[in-house]
Amino acid sequence: MLALALILAGFTVLAGWNLARGGDFDFYAASARSMSESLRALAFGAFDPAATVTLDKLSGFSVPQAASVALFGMSTSALALPQLIEGVIAVWAVSLIGLRWAGPRVGLLAAACAASTPIFVSMFGHPMEDGLLTMALALALLWWQRGLLSGRVWPMLVAGLFVGVGFQAKMMQAWFILPALVVGTLCAGAVTRARRRRALAACAALVASAVAASLAWITAIALTPAAGRPFIDGSVNDNVFAMVFGYNGIDRLLPGAVPGAVGALHSAPGGHGGVLPALIAPGGRASAGGLAKLLSPEYATQIGWLYPAAIAGAVLVFVRWGPRRRRTGRHGRAAFAVGLGLVAWCATAAAVLSVIHLPHTAYVAAIGVQLALLAAIGWCELIRLALHGTGAARLALPGVVLAQSGWTVALAADGSEPAVLFAAAGVLLLLGIAAGIVLVVPSLRRLVLRRPGGRPVLPLLVALALVSGQASFSLQALDAARDGSGGDASVGVRLPVPSSMDTGFRISAPAVVGGHSTLSRQQQEVVDLARAEGGGAAGRPLMLTDSWSLSAAVISRTGTSVLTDGGYSGSVPVFTASAIRGMIASGEVRVLVVAQGGHATDPVRSVALSGECRFVRAFHDVVSGTFHRRPSPTDLYRCRPPVDAARHSGDGGL
């Protein structure tokens, strides 16, 4: 327990060191703030406090953030705190899975592997949807394992429930685990006819629970009349299923496959919406490596340090439990099923990640839990073979240790790891290699193991060699310039390293509480001018705009209601021109803000330019500093109801 507590504490310090820095993507931060202030926005996962439009994805991941904001107030640390807690739970779940699978050594080593994985350190220290997904699937695996060990069905129902929680966080990505759990369950029960029937019942319960928990929220949204809910972003026909399974799902592989979905990875003119071209263009970061992208330094430095050990673990799962699973009782069958499930889950996730564009590095966290557990079982099995095996089996340990060490050195060099951290890892690697050699040389092994306290020393050094590479790399998260952000989690410098970048490593002062973002000068001027024109008074929204970049900044920093047309892609018909004219006529909307370079047919633009509203002022740097957005000039227009317009017909522009 003490060792696990130390691992969890170390992970908490590392992931939470810069908790108040590098905040969330404004688009999602605005939703968390809106959901913290409005029950209607919370119920529908809305982007704005008035709940006129949803996010372009399910917003289950924002629910913990909204609760944290409601408790502690709006700040970067309040948004990130739920993910830090989710990370601690995920590491704990990994340790418990390893413990039940093959004993305390595997559990502790798996926890250490997960806690030191660079993408976990960065991702769980920032507000991102991948944190809740990873925690939910780790817990799903934990409860599934319990179902295998106990032979009962109800843990399978709980496992399916956690798959559903993962679906609310990141939709279809949560289902990567389902084929693996089904295959593992069937293999664990494929002994007698009665056991096969129970396995089929367990699979049915698991899948039914997962599907029901996954679809419950979107079904409730779909059954709500359109007039009583926000418009569904990510769709052009106000269809939540098109948003979930089209825009965020199948369309990413087969564009246009789901009617009503905005084009997957859509980019609006002028960089005004969608997942950005800079991330998906040929030669861009997301295309790095093609089908072999998970082997490229850009991604492998974040997730791939354990590849050699995990491959060894996948092989040894079949060597140890495969041939004997019918004769080893329920625990042996469950152990084989867990190993098979992990291999299948990792292969499924890796295959999907290899063929799709990766808009954010955090996507690769989808194989983190599997790699940690497979590497831990592989390493511990290699040590066991070195101590108790015979013949060539004992030589497997030094071979894999050398392969793991060579891979670690190559990644550290390609990842531009600071020399001081690489040197520390190098010492542990050399000690681990030496310990591995001693373990397979009978005379040296007997000499060391006969000494008082000598028995645990060699295995410990070999275990430290496994985590030394990625742990030393993850220590870069102590530098605020190297720990990633809520927009793109990663540890270290961006690859390839720009020639002008300062690559020095410095430990930053801890920043755990606070982190309050403010509006830029021009954003504040837009807000002040909109208020001077009557926006935000008497319960009306501050403005109506076609730029989510501007509205997200205003909502997340002030909590003020701003109406937004176009959604994230800029092409979602949240409002019609007649609806906008109706809101102007009723006095509900007084100010329109139009982004230059937006969609020419957007109704906000068409109404603003129709002569019904008066141009007031142009701003040039309103959306600078938002997630990968270039500054977009915006124009502010004053709109008066017919009576007010007649009364102010003699007014001039400001």
Is 254 a member of any domain? no
For the ranges 252-266, 376-390, 450-464, which has the lowest average pLDDT?
Answer: 450-464
**CA pair distance 398, 379, nearest whole angstrom:** 11
Task: Say if residue 85 is exposed, middle or buried (CB neighbours under 10 Å; 0-12, 13-18, 19+).
Answer: middle
Contact 364, 389 (CB under 8 A): no
pLDDT of residue 286: 38
Is 395 a member of any domain? no
Task: Supply φ then ψ for residue 190, to 5 degrees.
Answer: -80, 65
Average pLDDT over the chain, rounded to whole?
A: 84
Question: How many Å is the maximal CA-CA distance in the chain?
Answer: 102
What is the per-residue pLDDT across 113-172, written as a single tens digit (0 to 9) for each? 999 999 999 999 999 899 999 999 999 999 999 999 988 899 999 999 999 999 999 999
Per-residue pLDDT band at 364 (split at 50, 70, 90): very high
Is 640 a member of any domain? yes
Quote the number of domains for the chain. 1
β-strand 563-564 against 591-595: which pairing, if any? unpaired
Residue 384 in this model has a pLDDT that exceeds 80: yes
Domain that holds residue 593: 521-647
Query: Residue 588 sits in a domain of what CATH number?
Result: 3.40.190
For 14, the token pair is 């590392």
Question: Strand order in 634-638's β-sheet?
Answer: 563-564, 544-545, 591-595, 634-638, 614-619
Is 533 a member of any domain? yes
SS (H, E, C) 464-525: HHHHHHHHHHHHHHHCCCCCCCCCCCCCCCCCCCCCCCCCCCCCCCCCCCCCCCCCCHHHHH
pLDDT of residue 504: 74
The stretch 550-565 carries a mean pLDDT of 92
Q: What is the torsion angle, in degrees rounded to the nearest 10, for the CA atoms of residue 111, residue 115, residue 119 and residue 125?
A: 130
Residue among 301, 335, 315 nearest 409 (CA): 301
In the beta sheet, which residues pair with residue 615? Answer: 637
Is 547 a member of any domain? yes
Is 609 a member of any domain? yes
Please count the other Cβ atoms lying within 10 Å of the Cβ belonging to residue 423: 11
pTM score over 0.95: no
Per-residue pLDDT band at 641 (split at 50, 70, 90): confident
Is 426 a member of any domain? no
In the beta sheet, which residues pair with residue 593? Answer: 545, 636
The stretch 517-535 carries a mean pLDDT of 89
Residue among 103, 178, 165, 179 nearest 134 (CA): 165
What is the per-residue pLDDT across 194-250, written as a single tens digit (0 to 9) for each? 777 888 888 999 999 999 999 999 999 999 999 999 999 999 999 999 999 999 888
Contact 428, 464 (CB under 8 A): yes
Task: Please tell me the number of Cα atoms within 13 Å of 576 on its side-chain side.
Answer: 4
Contact 171, 352 (CB under 8 A): no
What is the per-residue pLDDT across 76-118, written as a single tens digit (0 to 9) for each? 999 999 999 999 999 999 999 999 998 999 999 999 999 999 9
Is 572 a member of any domain? yes
What is the per-residue pLDDT across 566-597, written as a single tens digit (0 to 9) for each? 888 888 999 999 999 999 999 899 999 998 76
